């Protein structure tokens, strides 16, 4: 299936917005982009650039080519690589695709121990076969056991097709005498992200799913946690980090005078001016391509996220026009990515009660998002692990927090627990399961160095954990195991 919005079959002229600090005009057919505007010396120049492919890295290459000609920002992943100095005892478990049907590796890995087996379910993005299921007896040798949704068997409500569908962040639990997979996918109508559930009698299926999602409205990264009474909660993230770049770009297109007030750096002003020119075309794209095109704007903002947000607040208070204040407020609201929780019904197919805020992005290193929360109980405490910052760069990392109850309040570690190393970039979206030593292990994904981006391969890694009251740390293979306090709960049975 082809994307719903293929390249234009005619040329479209996009004039520079009025009052932009740098006036760029663009003519495009969706694959070629002829840009006219001021070069770094201030002279007017015209140059044509070709998009080699409609992928994340294709768009990064395009903007990297534009940068020296027009003084815009070079995308972070096209700048000379900074070798991370952080070290971590990462244990590579899966570093290649198990079959030709697994296209993109093992992003957002969720691991569940069932008897002598470890089961893995992972993100598949827009691949024809959704959510690979693999198993291993020793975490070294793995075998593919199928897919939650093989091609031709997707949920009735979910969009399908290359460049259109996104099957993300599945996780498997044994609950109520059955196995349940909670997952994110795009709806056919409107392509908003929603959360669904699939059930099976075994961890290998066969899987069935209702005709409607469990939760709608731009929501992703479902996680289930069970408290000490056996009550289950569904956690999820509002995908507002997918919203604010478009809200901001639309604001700067309509009120381009704000660019110079918001962004002091000239290269950033040039980048924002160019993207504001492109906005009327960008807003017609599929959700993931909108993200690809606006990656440059995301980097402009997240490189100095706290300061940009404070400038936006100042602009909101200083602005006299309500039609400007309102969209600024909407951008500020969307720059917060809350993680919510709500009771699950005993059958796991509906939500009960009112949602509760569990946590949100509020630390400098997290920038515009936290996501992929996984909570485990150990020694009378609840430990939350989550990812923060931009998943497609080496700045992505894993944070940790501790609470006395499953829904918090959580006390975050002041710095990430895990960061990029020289060998592995962008560690993220963790899960916890009992390791071969009987202690809790953290399972996560990471990119090979310099090979980041949507649909790039992500390997499965693991690190043993030390959970000690308010403390969270990782240990290497040669460190002794900590004294056991109490069995870690990594999943639960709903009663």
**Length of the chain (residues):** 495
Percent of the chain surpassing pLDDT 70: 94
Does the structure show a pLDDT above 90 at 479? Answer: no
In whole angstroms, what is the distance from residue 294 CA to residue 271 CA? Answer: 10
Question: Which of 437, 440, 444 lies closest to 491, judged by CA?
Answer: 440
Summarize pLDDT for 71-99 with one digit per residue, the tens: 999 999 999 988 999 999 999 999 999 99
Does the structure show a pLDDT above 60 at 294? Answer: yes
Tokens in use for 127? 């691949």
Give the 3-state secondary structure of residue 238.
strand
- Contact at 8 Å (CB) between 169 and 184? yes
Summarize pLDDT for 195-232 with one digit per residue, the tens: 999 999 999 999 999 999 999 999 999 999 999 888 99
pLDDT score recorded for residue 481: 59
Question: Which of 341, 444, 382 lies closest to 91, judged by CA?
Answer: 444
- 66's torsion region: left (phi>0), alpha (psi -120 to 50) or beta? alpha
Residue that is written with structure tokens 């600090």 in the block: 21
Report the pLDDT averaged over residues 185-195.
95
Question: Which of 396, 391, 291, 299 lies closest to 54, judged by CA?
Answer: 291
Backbone angles phi, psi at 298, to 5 degrees: -60, -45
Average pLDDT for the chain: 93
**Can you identify the CATH homologous superfamily of domain 91-237+337-474?**
Glycosyl hydrolase domain; family 43 (2.115.10.20)
Any idea where the domains of the chain sit in the sequence?
Answer: 12-80+242-334, 91-237+337-474
In whole angstroms, what is the distance from residue 25 CA to residue 36 CA? Answer: 5
Backbone angles phi, psi at 320, to 5 degrees: -95, -20
């Amino acid at each position: 299936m082809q994307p719903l919005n293929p390249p234009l079959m005619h040329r479209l002229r996009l004039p520079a917005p009025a009052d932009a600090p740098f006036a760029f005009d663009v003519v495009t057919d969706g694959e070629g982009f002829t840009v006219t505007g001021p070069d770094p010396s201030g002279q007017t120049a015209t140059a044509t650039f070709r998009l080699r492919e409609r992928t994340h890295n294709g768009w990064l290459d395009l903007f990297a080519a534009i940068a020296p000609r027009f003084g815009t920002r070079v995308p972070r992943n096209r700048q000379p690589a900074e070798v991370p100095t952080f070290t971590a005892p990462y244990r590579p478990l899966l570093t290649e695709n198990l079959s030709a049907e697994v296209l993109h590796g093992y992003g957002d890995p969720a691991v569940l121990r069932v008897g002598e087996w470890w089961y893995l379910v992972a993100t598949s993005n827009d691949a024809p076969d959704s959510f690979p299921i693999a198993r291993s007896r020793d975490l070294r040798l793995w075998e593919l056991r199928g897919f939650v949704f093989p091609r031709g068997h997707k949920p009735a409500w979910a969009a399908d097709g290359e460049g259109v569908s996104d099957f993300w962040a599945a996780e498997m639990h044994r609950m109520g005498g059955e196995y349940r997979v909670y997952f994110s996918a795009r709806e056919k109508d409107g392509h908003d992200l929603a959360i669904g559930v699939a059930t099976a009698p075994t961890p290998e299926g066969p899987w069935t799913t209702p005709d409607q999602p469990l939760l709608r409205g731009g929501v992703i990264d479902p996680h289930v946690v069970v408290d000490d009474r056996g009550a289950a909660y569904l956690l999820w993230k509002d995908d507002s980090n997918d919203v604010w770049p478009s809200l901001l770009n639309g604001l700067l297109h309509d009120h381009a005078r704000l660019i110079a007030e918001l962004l002091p750096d000239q290269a950033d002003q040039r980048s924002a001016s160019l993207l504001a020119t492109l906005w009327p075309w960008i807003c017609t794209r599929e959700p993931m391509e909108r993200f690809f095109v606006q990656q440059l704007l995301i980097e402009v903002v997240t490189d100095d996220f706290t300061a940009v947000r404070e400038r936006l607040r100042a602009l909101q208070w200083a602005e006299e026009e309500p039609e400007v204040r309102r969209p600024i407020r909407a951008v500020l609201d969307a720059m917060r990515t809350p993680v919510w929780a709500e009771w699950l019904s005993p059958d796991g197919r509906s939500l009960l009660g009112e949602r509760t805020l569990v946590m949100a992005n509020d630390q400098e290193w997290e920038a515009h998002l936290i996501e992929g929360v996984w909570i485990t109980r150990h020694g009378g405490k609840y430990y939350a692990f989550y990812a923060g910052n931009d998943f497609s760069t080496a700045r992505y990392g894993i944070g940790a927090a501790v609470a006395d109850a499953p829904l918090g309040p959580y006390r975050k570690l002041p710095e990430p627990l895990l960061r990029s190393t020289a060998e592995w970039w962008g560690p993220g979206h963790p899960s916890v399961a009992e390791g071969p030593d009987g202690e809790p292990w953290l399972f996560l994904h990471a990119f090979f160095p310099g090979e980041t981006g949507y649909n790039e391969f992500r390997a499965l890694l693991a690190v043993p954990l030390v959970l000690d009251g308010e403390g969270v740390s990782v240990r290497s293979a040669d460190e002794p195991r900590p004294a056991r306090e109490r069995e870690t709960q990594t999943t639960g049975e709903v009663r």
